[in-house]
């Protein structure tokens, strides 16, 4: 959405959810490195400031965000599922694109796990799927176990990270290969701005991603087993 669109959308939601309250809603996407948002009341105005990283979020997520923010000002009962839906969207679609706040690359980062060596996997996938053309970034297992953010690629730091839960004998090699492959596609297809919106997983990206051997069964395996790792 553009700032104009979200401004109109939030005013409309406000009228719908709080028909008795007469406020003018002013909403904008603001420039930030975070996924934080604010709402402030000033006289008869409500100012919603939404992180710019959400300008390509689906309408439903923006609506849930409106409800979360508004519930801080007005009485509004929110179903826990809605918050969950929002947070899972952020983990999967927003955070991968936001570099962690500490810009320094930790010396603790290492590609060599107790089971899998991510550098070897990267080189292997690079040969098979990219004719060896992708320049190897710094590759590492995450410092902490992450169950939602399974991996990310930070363009700023040329850093590719995979959640260390997958450095486990129970994890089939092709699962780790697939996760590395997904992040490599982010190097191959840098985030694009289309009509002013940031697109990370473009249809083209998804199409190539789906062509990874056993794509479906790998994703089913991850869903079924990640919480046991
Ligand atoms: Zn991705």
Domain membership flag for residue 161: yes
Q: How far is the CA of 209 from the centre of ligand 1 (A)?
A: 10
pLDDT of residue 65: 97
Q: How far is the CA of 96 from the centre of ligand 1 (A)?
A: 7
Q: Does position 204 have pLDDT exceeding 80, yes or no?
A: yes
Q: How far is the CA of 7 from the centre of ligand 1 (A)?
A: 28
My answer on whether 51 and 138 are in the same domain is no
Distance of CA 15 to the CA centre of its chain: 30
According to the 3-state scheme, what is the secondary structure of the chain?
A: CCHHHHHHHHHHHHHHHCCCCCCEEEEEEECCCCCCCEEEEECCEEEEEEEHHHCCCCHHHHHHHHHHHHCCCCCCCCCHHHHHHHHHHHHHHHHHHCCCCCCCCCCCCCCECCCCEHHHHHHHHHHHHHCCCCCCCEEEECCCCCCCCCEEEECCCCEEEECHHHCCCCCCHHHHHHHHHHHHHHHHCCCEEECCEEECCCHHHHHHHHCCCCHHHHHHHHHHHHHHC
Q: Using CA atoms, how far apart are residues 141 and 60, in angstroms rounded to an integer?
A: 33
Q: How far is the CA of 133 from the centre of ligand 1 (A)?
A: 19
Domain membership flag for residue 108: no
Q: Does position 145 have pLDDT exceeding 80, yes or no?
A: yes
Phi (first) and psi of residue 85, to 5 degrees: -60, -45
Please count the CA atoms within 13 angstroms of the CA of 148 that sit on its side-chain side.
13
My answer on whether 188 and 222 are in the same domain is yes
My answer on whether 88 and 171 are in the same domain is no
CATH number of the domain that residue 219 is part of: 3.30.2010.10
My answer on whether 128 and 220 are in the same domain is yes
Domain membership flag for residue 102: no
Decide: 160 and 137 in contact? Cβ < 8 Å.
Answer: yes
Q: How far is the CA of 2 from the centre of ligand 1 (A)?
A: 23
Domain membership flag for residue 182: yes
Q: Does position 115 have pLDDT exceeding 90, yes or no?
A: yes
pLDDT of residue 53: 92
Last residue in a domain, options 67, 97, 127 = 97
Average pLDDT for 85-105: 78
My answer on whether 151 and 191 are in the same domain is yes
pLDDT of residue 210: 97
Domain membership flag for residue 49: yes
CATH number of the domain that residue 68 is part of: 3.30.2010
Q: Does position 103 have pLDDT exceeding 80, yes or no?
A: no
Q: How far is the CA of 210 from the centre of ligand 1 (A)?
A: 13
My answer on whether 80 and 143 are in the same domain is no
Q: How far is the CA of 159 from the centre of ligand 1 (A)?
A: 14
My answer on whether 139 and 219 are in the same domain is yes
pLDDT of residue 105: 66
My answer on whether 75 and 125 are in the same domain is no
My answer on whether 93 and 122 are in the same domain is no
Q: In the chain, how many domains are there?
A: 2
Tokens 């998804």: give the residue. Answer: 206
Note down the domain range covering 12: 3-97
My answer on whether 93 and 124 are in the same domain is no
Last residue in a domain, options 97, 131, 160 = 97
Domain membership flag for residue 187: yes
Closest CA relative to residue 175, chosen from 130, 134, 115, 87: 115
Q: How far is the CA of 42 from the centre of ligand 1 (A)?
A: 39
Q: How far is the CA of 100 from the centre of ligand 1 (A)?
A: 15
Domain membership flag for residue 203: yes
Q: How far is the CA of 104 from the centre of ligand 1 (A)?
A: 22
Q: How far is the CA of 69 from the centre of ligand 1 (A)?
A: 27
Last residue in a domain, options 31, 62, 97 = 97
My answer on whether 153 and 221 are in the same domain is yes
On average, the pLDDT of the chain sits at 92
My answer on whether 85 and 125 are in the same domain is no
Q: Does position 113 have pLDDT exceeding 70, yes or no?
A: yes
Which tens digits make up the pLDDT trace of 124-138?
999 999 999 999 999
Q: How far is the CA of 44 from the centre of ligand 1 (A)?
A: 41
Residue 51 neighbours by CB distance under 10 Å = 21
């Amino acid at each position: 959405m553009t700032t104009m669109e979200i401004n109109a959308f939030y005013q409309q939601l406000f009228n719908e959810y709080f028909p008795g309250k007469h406020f003018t809603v002013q909403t904008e996407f603001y420039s930030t490195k975070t996924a934080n948002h604010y709402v402030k009341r000033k006289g008869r105005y409500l100012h919603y400031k939404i992180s710019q990283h959400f300008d390509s979020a689906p309408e439903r997520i923006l609506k849930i965000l409106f409800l979360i923010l508004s519930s801080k000002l007005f009485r509004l009962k929110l179903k826990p599922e809605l918050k969950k839906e929002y947070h899972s969207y952020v983990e999967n679609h927003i955070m991968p694109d936001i570099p962690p706040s500490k810009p320094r690359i930790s010396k603790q980062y290492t590609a060599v796990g107790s089971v899998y060596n991510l550098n070897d996997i990267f080189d292997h996938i690079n040969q098979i799927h990219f004719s060896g053309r992708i320049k190897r970034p710094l590759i590492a297992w995450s410092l902490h176990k992450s169950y939602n953010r399974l991996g990310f690629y930070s363009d700023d730091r040329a850093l590719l990270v995979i959640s260390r839960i997958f450095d486990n004998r129970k994890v089939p090699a092709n699962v780790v290969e697939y996760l590395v492959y997904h992040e490599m596609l982010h190097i191959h297809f840098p985030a694009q701005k289309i009509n002013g919106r940031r697109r990370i997983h473009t249809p083209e990206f998804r199409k190539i991603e789906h062509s990874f051997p056993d794509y479906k069964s790998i994703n089913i395996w991850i869903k079924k087993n990640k919480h046991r790792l």
